[in-house]
Amino acid sequence: MTRKQKKTLIRIIVSGVLLAAAAFVPVKGVVRLAVYAVPYAVIGWDVLWKAVRNICHGQVFDENFLMAIATLGAFGTGEYAEAASVMLFYQIGELFQSCAVGKSRRSIASLMDIRPDYANIQRDGQLVRIDPDEVGIGDIIVVKPGERIPLDGTVTEGESSVDTAALTGESLPRTVRAGEDVISGCINRSGLIKVRVNKKFGESTVAKILDLVENSSSKKAKAENFITRFARYYTPVVVIAAVLLAVIPPIVLGGGWTGWLHRALIFLVISCPCALVISVPLSFFGGIGGASRKGILVKGGNYLEILADSEIVVFDKTGTLTKGVFNVTAVHPEEISEQRLIELAAYAESYSVHPIAKSILEAYAKDTDQNRITSCEELSGKGVKAVIDGLEVCVGNDKLMEQLGVGWRPCHHVGTTVHVAVNGKYAGHMVISDEIKETSADAVKSLKEKGVKRTVMLTGDSATVGEDAARRLGLDEVYTELLPAGKVEKVEKLLESKSPKGKLVFVGDGINDAPVLSRADIGIAMGAMGSDAAIEAADIVLMDDDPVKIADAIDISVKTVRIVRQNIVFALGVKLIVLLLGALGIANMWAAVFADVGVSVLAILNAMRAMRVK
């Protein structure tokens, strides 16, 4: 609780005690007025001051004005206890509201703890702490156990357990070793590691996250904008209605001014729009905060609102549904051993920087002795030819084998087939494929359970590879062999095919996905290993690249929008009923207090449910 909230609580307690004591003081007239004026002044002086100040600044019709007029009017009609009580309960509601908003803000502000204060760098044999902004690309930083990793980079030395909970929402740490990438904002738990910096601090993961969090509340949902406009016109209308209620009936009916003035004051208390003005933004803010704890960064309440109407979810393949890392998944030798086939292919590919070459070298898992290689030639679009231990080894695709006149065999495994020929004779082949993420099939299944009507995959891969992946994942549609421009065209057609209220979501990670992310109704980017351009273009970022989080994000958005609608219907419904009863003289000042403070508290309690995420 903040200092201001503590002071308000003390005033509430003091005023409440004084108000209770005033009820037992046997006095009348001016003395009774003075007795009740003391607790009223203790609890309501700031409301009166804000009302006067806002009037001076031209902001007449706000909740402070309504409460000031209603309670001072009650004093004028002799309703001293009611006037002080209304102001007391109003302040209790305001305190409750302040605490709720503070809790919601803290749920998002907790992400600010990921900001690193310093980076360790070695200079003249000494470890020096410097500002992360001063570290350049290529510099080696030292991260001790217990410290936060300040910048994105690659581990060069050491092994450690890294806690990624603040970024991804995952409680289990992961182990990192030399050669593996780490992202800023994570906590180094166990061992000392050295990291080669890949990005400047301003472009690092932690800097981008902080920017997203700081700006998330600036993009309001349609419901929030509606409530803002509604309150702007609603308050003046009810004030005018209250004035007419106090004046017209006595003129028409001839007398009864005090009774009708009392009804008008009750009308004013009831009409305060606190429940709507606070609970709706609080619901979206709570939803964003709840999502952030799951490692889902939403850039604004408007995107959370749109996501709730997801009808079509379109996926990129590589890096989104698959790991984006090519591996040797099958080895089929002919007349030589499996290990010998991999060894010859690895030596032939040892000079290449192609991802397929890298995957073969990783499968070999040994250092290559370059003295064994007499010559090496890269054959563009076909493969490589090398002389290894006096043997001519050719490694490549079907076209290379056909060029050499070597009879090759097709493989029943799905993936990129790499053939190997030794001295003009077929030695066997390997299959290189991009592994599907363990959670991808569950993600597609979960989306369908959430009511998503169509799941689609767009990929630049061949029809065989793409259709196999789509079948294994249970996707409804797949479009293969697409260039970036082709993906945009497909999304355009899918946008035309959806229902008027339905929304299209695109999920991607690569730099070539940025145009599609921008074109979709909602763009979701993989944040851990996704490209900067994709993260920038997206509306929602998944910090751990887990596609299952898409269904979680939809769950949170649906829950948040449902809470917002509940609060709007409940607040307006109760207020309209009690307003009508107040105008007819049936509802008293205590009913007015419930319609204002009670409804606000209930709406805020309901809004806070958006922060709770399973």
- What residues are labeled active site? 316
Question: Dihedral sign, CA of 171, 176, 182, 184?
Answer: positive
> CB of 280 within 8 A of CB of 561?
no
Q: Where are the alpha helices (DSSP H) in 23-79?
A: 29-56, 63-76
Burial status of residue 524 (CB atoms within 10 A of its CB: 0-12, 13-18, 19 or more): buried
* Distance, C-alpha 151 to centroid of its chain: 22
Burial status of residue 42 (CB atoms within 10 A of its CB: 0-12, 13-18, 19 or more): buried
Burial status of residue 84 (CB atoms within 10 A of its CB: 0-12, 13-18, 19 or more): buried
> CB of 360 within 8 A of CB of 342?
yes
* Cβ-based neighbour number of residue 234 at 10 Å: 18
Which is nearest to 564 in space by CA: 308, 279, 290, 234? 279
Question: Dihedral sign, CA of 7, 13, 16, 18?
Answer: negative
* Cβ-based neighbour number of residue 561 at 10 Å: 23
Buried b (16+ CB within 10 A) or exposed e, 275-309: bbbbbbbbbbbbbbbbbbbbbbbbbbbbbbbbbbb
> CB of 612 within 8 A of CB of 290?
yes
For residue 88, the number of C-alpha atoms closer than 13 Å in the C-beta half-sphere is: 25
